[in-house]
C-alpha cells in the first residue's frame, strides 16, 4: 500500500548465490511450486538454525507476488527453529510436538515476480519456553532485497507436555 518514490537506495545483506540446479529440487509440504535447497527440513539430524530455499512459481500475474510470497514465508520457519535439535524435524508436528504461528509479519521493499527465482534466506535465533522465533529475507535472483519477514510460534513438545500431566 505504497506508491513507489524516487530517492536514494541502500541495501546491506549477504549476496545471493546463483539459483541451485535441478539436482537440489525438494518437495516442501504445502508449497505446490518449484523449490530447491541444499538442506532438508525433514531430516532429523541436527544442523544450524538456518535454511535457504530457492522458489519459483509457474507464470502468474505480477499482482499475486506479495500474496504467494507471504504464503511461502509462513511455512518453514518452525522447521528452521527445530534444526539444531537432534531427532526432530518439521514432520513431527502433531505427533512429536504441537506448533501454531502466533505472529507473522512481512514487509515488501521492492516490486518483484514469483515466476522468477527468489531466495528465502532465514534463521531462528531462539527457541525457548515453548516458543520459537525466526526471521528472513527474500532476495531476487539479482540479489535485490525484495521483502523481509519475521515469525513467532508456539512450540510444545509432547515429552514436555507429558510431564505437565503428572
CA distances, 125 to each of 84, 118, 121, 133, 152 (Å): 11, 23, 13, 7, 11
pLDDT in tens, 131-162: 999 999 999 999 999 999 999 999 999 875 55
The reply to whether 23 falls in a domain is no
The reply to whether 101 falls in a domain is yes
Q: Supply the range of the domain harboring residue 150.
A: 30-40+48-164
The reply to whether 81 falls in a domain is yes
Domains in the chain: how many in total?
1
The answer to whether 120 and 106 are in contact (CB under 8 A) is no
The reply to whether 53 falls in a domain is yes
The reply to whether 87 falls in a domain is yes
pLDDT in tens, 65-74: 999 999 999 9
The reply to whether 2 falls in a domain is no
**Strands of the sheet with 97-108, listed across from one edge:** 25-26, 34-36, 50-56, 118-128, 131-140, 145-157, 97-108
Mean pLDDT of 81-104: 89
Mean pLDDT of 104-113: 96
The reply to whether 122 falls in a domain is yes
The reply to whether 88 falls in a domain is yes
The CATH number for 122's domain is 3.10.129.10
Amino acid at each position: 500500500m505504497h506508491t513507489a518514490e524516487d530517492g536514494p537506495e541502500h541495501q546491506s545483506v549477504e549476496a545471493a548465490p546463483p539459483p541451485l540446479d535441478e539436482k537440489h529440487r525438494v518437495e516442501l509440504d504445502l508449497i505446490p511450486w518449484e523449490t530447491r535447497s541444499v538442506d532438508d527440513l525433514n531430516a532429523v539430524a541436527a544442523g544450524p538454525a538456518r535454511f535457504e530455499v530457492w522458489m519459483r512459481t509457474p507464470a502468474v500475474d505480477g499482482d499475486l507476488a506479495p500474496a504467494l510470497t507471504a504464503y511461502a514465508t509462513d511455512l518453514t520457519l518452525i522447521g528452521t527453529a527445530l534444526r539444531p535439535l537432534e531427532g526432530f524435524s518439521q514432520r513431527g508436528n502433531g505427533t512429536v510436538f504441537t506448533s501454531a504461528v502466533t505472529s507473522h509479519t512481512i514487509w515488501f521493499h521492492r516490486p518483484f515476480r514469483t515466476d522468477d527465482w527468489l531466495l528465502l534466506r532465514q534463521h531462528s535465533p531462539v527457541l525457548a519456553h515453548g516458543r520459537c522465533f525466526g526471521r528472513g529475507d527474500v532476495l531476487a535472483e539479482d540479489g535485490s532485497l525484495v521483502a523481509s519477514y519475521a515469525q513467532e510460534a508456539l512450540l510444545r513438545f509432547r515429552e514436555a507436555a507429558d510431564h505437565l500431566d503428572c
